[in-house]
Amino acid sequence: MVMRANLQGDLPVETAMQYGHDEVAASLIKKMSHLSVQELFRASKTIKTKNDFVELVRQFKMKKTILAILDAMIVPKWPYPTSLHYHNTTVGEWQDLEDHPTHIEVCWDLLDVDKNGRPPSHPDYIYCPKSPFYYLTRQCQTLQKDLIFHPVLRLVSERKWEKYARFWFR
């Protein structure tokens, strides 16, 4: 999906988030690629991000947008063999492939970013005691079922508990 920036250099999804248009921002995020959604909230090596994921999750006014961002953290991987090329395959070869991904990658580094969009592995990371993951789990206490049962939060919780258990029971 190609998006054009306005005079200030903001994408339409950034403008929708800035003015609090939850449904518009969520629908635009769902149409974007996984990588471009993650790049909205991730800082580069020298430049901090314009969009503060920590503040978006802390305020929790845009629930649909937050769920769309969590959905964008899941990147499915399909079992397409490298021997299949578009120019020399028959229709039957493509029809024999599965429609479901064999595994998924979860890019959960956005759940631990600081206010500048830097992950903990970044050299300029500024420790903040309350990460986006903290604010999302606080919303789960208010029985937000969409968040409680979201696969990203379940997988991150399992991962953090496993790391915690390995630390204490090694």
pLDDT at position 30 is: 92
pLDDT at position 58 is: 87
pLDDT at position 65 is: 93
pLDDT at position 92 is: 54
Q: Does the pLDDT of residue 55 top 70, yes or no? A: yes
Q: Does the pLDDT of residue 150 top 60, yes or no? A: yes
Q: Within a 10 A sphere around the Cβ of 147, how many other Cβ atoms?
A: 20
**What is the average per-residue pLDDT within 116-137?**
84
**What is the average per-residue pLDDT within 99-104?**
70
pLDDT at position 27 is: 94
| Conformational region of residue 143, where left means phi above 0, alpha means psi within -120 to 50, and beta covers everything else | left
Q: Within a 10 A sphere around the Cβ of 63, how many other Cβ atoms?
A: 14
Residues 6 or more apart in contact with residue 61 via CB below 8 angstroms: 20, 22
**What is the average per-residue pLDDT within 107-118?**
83
How far is the first Cα of the chain from the last one, in angstroms, to the nearest whole number? 48
Average the pLDDT over each of 48-52, 79-83, 112-116 and give the range with the smallest value. 79-83
pTM of the model: 0.77
Q: Does the pLDDT of residue 113 top 80, yes or no? A: yes
